[in-house]
Amino acid sequence: MLNISGLQEGVVLDHIQAGKSLDIYYHLGLDRLTDCQVAIIKNARSNKMGRKDIIKVEGPIDNIDLDVLGYIDHNITVNVIRDNKITEKKALKLPKKITNVIRCKNPRCITSIEQELPHIFYLADEKTETYRCMYCEEKYGKSK
């Protein structure tokens, strides 16, 4: 049973691969949340995974970009907490489109020239988790 004590309303990200919690913390921009508590638990014991990381974020689910999270690792469990209870578990999936999460590395891509353009990638192949740049089709394979 996940210990959610001290969290009246919030989100618990469970089953994060051990060692990945800080990456996720920064990718989700949790360092920019100034008025809610964030707790990171590293190397928690897990029956399923051996060791895992957990992130607890106080406040509404809107604080978390589920597309970004789904892109990073869709095996993470998202628990929504209300009144000290888990009220909902959300399943993550690979997002169809991601904006400003990864950057196109093609030097001839328009995003290299026009700095203000958002970096938009779309899911080109779900099996291999391959994304392609919306502008130049440059491939971005997820390293696993």
Rule CB under 5 A: which residues touch Zn ion?
Answer: 104, 106, 109, 133, 135-136, 138
Residue 57 has phi, psi (to 5 degrees) of -125, 125
Report the greatest alpha carbon distance in the chain: 52
CA pair distance 109, 102, nearest whole angstrom? 14
Q: Quick one: tokens of 96?
A: 């169809």
We find the least distance from the C-beta atom of residue 109 to Zn ion, in angstroms, to be: 3
CA pair distance 117, 32, nearest whole angstrom? 22
We find the least distance from the C-beta atom of residue 132 to Zn ion, in angstroms, to be: 8
CA pair distance 3, 59, nearest whole angstrom? 17
Q: Which of 36, 136 has the CB closer to Zn ion?
A: 136
Q: Which of 78, 133 has the CB closer to Zn ion?
A: 133
Q: Which of 11, 109 has the CB closer to Zn ion?
A: 109
Whose tokens are 């089709």? That residue is 137
Q: Which of 21, 111 has the CB closer to Zn ion?
A: 111
Count of CB atoms situated within 10 Å of the CB of 37: 12
